[in-house]
Every structure is written in structure tokens, then in C-alpha cells.
Amino acid sequence: MSDDLRTAAGHRETTVDPQGVPVTPPVSPLGGSTAAEEAAPGEATTGEAALGKAAAGDVAGAAPRPGPHRVGPPVVEVRDLHVTFTGRGLRRGVDAHAVDGVDLQVMQGEIVALAGESGCGKTTLARTILGLEKPTAGEVAYQESPLRYSSRALKAYRRNVQLVLQDPTGALNPRQSVYEAVAEGIRIHKLRGNEEELVARALSRAGLRPPARFFLRYPHELSGGQRQRVVIAGALALEPSVIVADEPVSSLDASVRGEILALLLKLRDEMGLSVLVVTHDLGLAWNIADRIAVMYLGRIVEIGPTEDVLSKPSHPYTKALLSVAGEGMAARTTRPVLLKGEPPDSTRIPRGCRFHPRCPALASGVADAAGIADACRSTDLPILPTAPGHAAACHLL
């Protein structure tokens, strides 16, 4: 189990499901907060601050967000996607199956969380969706058209599908002012209109107001939350329809985390943005995502509406993640499910269910009692479909 997922747990009553894995429904994902950053102009509007408070730890009392209507074609879709890396040097001839058969759709105005421990393939899947990796098999489609990999086609595609990186300090050039950082994409794509107005509008949408106050500032003069807003503004300047956010708040203070999540929700509601959030933090997914896809060893093992998956998980792997997911999402009085065996290795994918070497249900004898232990070890599971609803890839189901 990834060390990133071994955080403190809260106090709640827990039951043990038929698979022998303790499960507790989540309550407050990002519970607890550290000291807030020093207040600065443009850090958050009043409305965002209220949303940020809910996102930082008061979700139980917040009004539920209406999910997107799954009508019309998906904005982004991957179909039977495979990404294989061939080893070099001492590992010549050893193939790493980073993504090993994934179907996934992101609808208009939908936020989808892609969760899992380090090494599960979620970042490679996100890079492939962005066109930064070329699939070995399968395809990426944007608005039902397969992605083409010529320079001109990728440039047009990346105007519509933008990336928000994990570390805003590393993402911003320390020698560029805020204005130059946001204007860079506008110049590359030669957008029509007044450049200064386009930059100002993007900064304003990202919550940096008045925008002119930030034009001549440099990254070291900004707080962590403000730097992340500049990165988001750089993406918004191109008027994209999809944002891929790779751990967008993991490097931020807990109090600022809520404000950035509230900003993403606001942009989804106001602009109809679709967002794919790559994260190992199930609390973040509970706060922001309409649907969640849990990945293990290159494949999605459970997918569905976030509330269903995290309140009533079906796959033993999802249950194990929840048992150590942090304050408010598991019981401190319950022993965390520590997965045994070797960490997953994409160069040695086991036969049968790829989770069976570490599966608590198989180790505890539950699978034997159900008469499916041999199937777990020898029969591969199909790729989960993209149909709406809650689905999991497990022989016990």
C-alpha cells in the first residue's frame, strides 16, 4: 500500500463486509486544516471562501451538487487503451504494461476522479489522454473523433484539452511575470482579440482580482494558492472544454486546498468545463468528483458515482484504500487493511485477477468459501464498460 494513503483515521463505527474487509462510509474528506496562508488580494472571493470551507472539512452539511446529465456524446473517451513501455539497457526486452486495457468517458460538465496508489497507471493514462504518450493499442477520442498525432492536429487538440500540473512552483518559469505566463498560450495559439484583455479575463476567472495588480508580479512574490491560480488561468486563457488536473492541490496548505477545489467546481458550473482529476486522495474525490474510477495495475477495477463507490465500495482494493484513507473516511478504532505481498509490478502482471496476490478476500478464505478461488488465480476479468452506473471487476460479484 502506498505510504501516501497511510494517513490518520477518524472515529466512526465500522462493519465488516462479506469479503472480510472493514468498510466505513466517508464523512469529511479533507478534515482538519492547518493555519491559513496570509490573506492576499485575489486569494478567494467570498463565495469561494464559503465553498472552500465546505471543501476543507464540512462536506457532510453541504448541499449536494447536481451531477451532469449523461446525455449526448462524451467530450473525451478512451477505448480499449493500452500503453506499453519497452525496457532498455539491463531491462531490454522487458515490457511494462502501464495501461493495460481501459475504457473511460468524460461527459460535458462532468468531473471524473482517477484514483489509485502510486504506480497504478493513472498518470500514464492522463498523459495519453493529453496526447503526450501515444497508445500501443486502442484510441483516444475527442468529441467522437479519434485523436490524430500530427503536429497540427495535436496543437489544435491541446487548445481544447489543457493540463494543470501538480506543483505550481515548478510549473511556472521564475523569470516570467504572471502576465507573460498566462499570455504564452495565447501567443502560441494566436488567439484573436486584445491580448491584455484575454489575460485579464483568465486571471479574473481564476480568482485573481483585480487582475492588473498581478500582471507584473513574479512567482516568488505569490502565495502557493495564488501560484496555482496562475497555472489555472494559463489553461483558462485558451477557453478549453476539458482540463486534466494532476494532483492539483497536493502541494498546497489544507485551507487553500478547499479554495482551489471550490474554484474548479465554480468553473465547471459557469463554463461547462469537463475535468479529469488524477489523485491518490480519496477525500479530494469525495469533495469534487461526480464519478470516480479506481485503477490497479493498469486497469480500472471499480467505477461509478463517487458517493456510491466511496460509501458502498464493491472491490476489495477500493475497500482497502478506504480503510487507510484519512480522517473522517475510516475508523481509527478499526485495524487498517494492510495489503500483503509484493507491490504491483507492471512488468509482471499475474494471471487471473491482477489483484489476487494481495487480495484480502482470497487470503482470508472468503474466496475459497464462495468457490471462486481458482477463478481468481486463473481467469482474467473483462474490461469494465463505460455504461453509467456502479461496476467493479471482481469474481465475488
* pLDDT above 90: residue 37: no
Q: What percent of the chain lies above the pLDDT cut of 90?
A: 67
Summarize pLDDT for 167-177 with one digit per residue, the tens.
999 999 999 99
Report pLDDT for 333. 46
Task: Please report, for residues 161, 366, 367, 371, the alpha-carbon distance to residue 135 in angstroms, rounded to integers and kept in the order given.
Answer: 17, 37, 35, 37
- Is residue 344 situated within a structural domain? yes
Q: Region 179-202: what's the mean pLDDT?
A: 97
Query: Backbone dihedral region of 255: left (phi > 0), alpha (psi from -120 to 50 degrees) or beta?
Result: alpha
Nearest alpha-carbon partner for 17 in 361, 363, 370? 361
Q: Which amino acid is at 383?
A: I
* pLDDT above 70: residue 6: no
Summarize pLDDT for 281-310 with one digit per residue, the tens.
898 999 999 999 999 999 999 999 999 999
- Is residue 36 situated within a structural domain? no
Report pLDDT for 336. 85
* pLDDT above 90: residue 206: yes
- Is residue 146 situated within a structural domain? yes
Report pLDDT for 72. 77
Q: Region 69-79: what's the mean pLDDT?
A: 83
- Is residue 397 situated within a structural domain? yes
* pLDDT above 60: residue 274: yes
Q: Region 347-371: what's the mean pLDDT?
A: 93
More confident residue, 320 or 69: 320
Confidence of residue 98 (pLDDT cuts 50, 70, 90): very high
**Helix, coil or strand: residue 78:** strand
Report pLDDT for 63. 37
**Helix, coil or strand: residue 143:** coil
Q: Which residues of 372-388 are buried (b: 16+ CB within 10 A; e: fewer)?
A: bbebbbeeebebbebee
Q: Which residues of 7-21 are buried (b: 16+ CB within 10 A; e: fewer)?
A: eebbebebeeeebbb
Nearest alpha-carbon partner for 260 in 52, 114, 110? 52
Q: Cα separation of 125 and 107, whole Å? A: 17
Please state the pTM of the whole predicted model: 0.83
- Is residue 179 situated within a structural domain? yes
Residue 224 sits in a domain whose CATH number is 3.40.50.300
Q: Which amino acid is at 220?
A: H
Scanning the chain, the segments in alpha helix (DSSP H) are 46-57, 122-129, 151-160, 168-171, 178-188, 195-205, 224-236, 254-271, 282-288, 306-311, 316-323, 360-363, 366-370, 373-378
Report pLDDT for 88. 75
Nearest alpha-carbon partner for 376 in 348, 395, 350? 395
Confidence of residue 89 (pLDDT cuts 50, 70, 90): low
* pLDDT above 50: residue 75: yes
Residue 65 belongs to domain spanning: 1-30+41-397
How high is the mean pLDDT of the chain? 83
Summarize pLDDT for 111-165 with one digit per residue, the tens.
999 999 988 999 999 999 999 999 999 999 999 999 999 999 999 999 999 999 9
204 with 211: CB under 8 angstroms? Answer: yes
- Is residue 319 situated within a structural domain? yes
Strand partners, 141: 77, 146
* pLDDT above 90: residue 386: no
Report pLDDT for 20. 53
Query: How many structural domains are present in the chain?
Result: 1
Query: Backbone dihedral region of 348: left (phi > 0), alpha (psi from -120 to 50 degrees) or beta?
Result: beta
- Is residue 35 situated within a structural domain? no
Q: Cα separation of 229 and 252, whole Å? A: 12
Report pLDDT for 297. 95
Q: Residue 42 contacts by C-beta under 8 Å, 6 or more apart in sequence?
A: 203, 207, 208, 209, 210, 211, 213, 214, 226, 229
61 with 31: CB under 8 angstroms? Answer: no
